Structure 1
Amino acid sequence: MDPERVVYPLMKYVVLGPAMRVAFLPQVSGLRNVPRTGPVILAANHLAFVDSFVLPLIVPRRVHFLGKNEYFTGTGMKGQATATFFRGVGAIAVDRSGGRAAFDALDTCAAVLERGDVFAIHPEGTRSPDGRLYRGRTGVARLAMRTGAPVVPVAIRGTDKVQPRGQVVPKPGRIGVRIGPPMRFAGRDDGMPRGKVARQVTDEIMEAIQSLSGQEYVDDYAPRPAETP
């Protein structure tokens, strides 16, 4: 039996799911906006590392998301256990070195959607350094137009309080998740410059996320951790 198929239900329904409900008392609204079948892109704001686990544990479908390659390349029993855990909860290894790797990551995301599954993405590209919502990167729009998958905007709240930057283990506290109605962009780039349309679509998605989260919007890209003062 594939160990990853065992890890997923174990984590979601036996270990992490119940533990999260006790520790975070999540307030969830709009869950019905997530289509029960077919490809879906969940586009969420990004406040803390734990965000990547919140959606897979709350949404009643298996959710895939990108995880840095280092989570999957460790050696020994610990490395193997870490890789199995991340694959089991829906993470997909990605090389974040840029260049060709970015296109390969887009292909990987598209493959998830093309087989009718759910993919979660944080359009900001990195965690917000100060709780504000930053300009989205256009990968989410390119993915939506390429696959025709609807984009469901999501606002996560409170995770920056339960897991402040630099804190490895989250602490108990209340979090919230608000899910908006699906947005569809299939064919939006027909006969139009793809780059320009991708920017417009991404801005629309970020506006939808901002309306759900109530965050102050910053029309600039969030600095990567190494760039943060």
Structure 2
Amino acid sequence: MKFSIGGSLKLAFRPWVEGLENIPADGPAILASNHLSFSDSFFLPAMLDRKVTFIAKAEYFTSPGVKGKLTAAFFRGVGQLPVDRSGARGAGQAAVRAGIEVLERGGLFGIYPEGTRSPDGRLYRGKPGGLGRVALATGAPVIPIAMIDTEKIQPPGKVVPRLMRPGIRIGKPLDFSRYQGMEEDRYILRSLTDEVMYEIMKLSGQEYVDIYATVAKREIAEAEKAAKAAAKARAEAAKGEEPPAPAVGPAASDGTADGPGRVEGP
């Protein structure tokens, strides 16, 4: 991936990077990044010498046919790890297990604490379960990372990217070993995640919104639906307010008819 896709990305987009010295040359580390675009998972690994492993839904690796095999090969090639989302707690537990396995092998584990792409370019509240549990279970340092302008290259729903120069800012590693063994304490998980999100906010310069991005997406979708319904209602009301066409009836011979065929008398 680094020599094929990575080389093409570097040549076409010329991404800039600050803080590469904060990525350890070896040993485990968690790369916690904001998430602006689908392309984040390609730009970040392409600019690092080491392999970065992200998680992806297992369906990408099990689809049938030639297309399915090509898709699976592609995701394996770019360092994605299949996660089975079935079970009592679904993807959450699977992501934690996957992250721990990567770090126990001494690798770099990439995670987006927001849980999904930002719907509007702002930074949203981090979900504490995955990041906090993996960090406290392994003792691996957490490195905050800010992706810059990738949402302008490939906004949600756009297939063809724009050619422009994105950036990556890599912060100093955060040590949470003081909390190790406390991964079941939800207050510790919340505190750890908020500290990481604060560092990402400083690196990215994004406006911070203290709700989950999934909630924001739902609210945006509901607002768009309500706006469409209101516009439709206004259009229908405008049609109903049109003045009726004047009635046309037979006129009297002297033009003073007050009814069909009727003439006023003296």
TM exceeding 0.5 = yes
Mark the CA change 1:189 to 1:211 in structure 2 (over 3 Å): closer, same or farther.
same
Mark the CA change 1:146 to 1:187 in structure 2 (over 3 Å): closer, same or farther.
farther
Q: Which residue of 1 aligns with 2:68?
A: 79
Q: Which residue of 2 aligns with 1:89?
A: 78
Q: Distance in 2 between matches of 1:81 and 1:186?
A: 41
Q: Any idea what the Cα deviations from partners look like across 1:116-167, whole Å, max 9, x if unmatched?
A: 0001000000000000000001121211111000000000011100001101
Q: TM-score, normalised by structure 2?
A: 0.77
Of 26, 39, 50, which aligns to 1:61? 50
Q: Any idea what the Cα deviations from partners look like across 1:93-130, whole Å, max 9, x if unmatched?
A: 12346743221221111110011000100000000000
Q: Where do residues 1-229 of structure 1 align in structure 2 (5 Å cutoff)?
A: 11-13=1-3, 15-96=4-85, 99-101=88-90, 102-138=92-128, 139-189=130-180, 194-223=185-214, 227=218, 228-229=220-221
3-state secondary structure, aligned to 1:100: coil
Taking every aligned residue pair, what percent have the same amino acid on both sides? Answer: 52
Q: Distance in 2 between matches of 1:74 and 1:191?
A: 38
Mark the CA change 1:195 to 1:225 in structure 2 (over 3 Å): closer, same or farther.
closer
Unaligned runs of 5+ in 1: 1-10
**Greater relative CO (CA pairs within 8 A, separation 6+):** 1
* Residues 44, 156 of structure 1: 8 Å contact kept: yes
Q: Which residue of 2 aligns with 1:4?
A: none
Q: TM-score, normalised by structure 1?
A: 0.89
Structure 1 window deviating more from structure 2 (129-138 vs 167-176): it is: 167-176
Q: CA deviation at 1:224?
A: 6.5
Q: Which residue of 1 aligns with 2:262?
A: none
* Residues 41, 144 of structure 1: 8 Å contact kept: yes
3-state secondary structure, aligned to 1:120: strand
3-state secondary structure, aligned to 1:52: helix
Q: Distance in 1 between matches of 2:184 and 2:133?
A: 12
Unaligned runs of 5+ in 2: 222-266
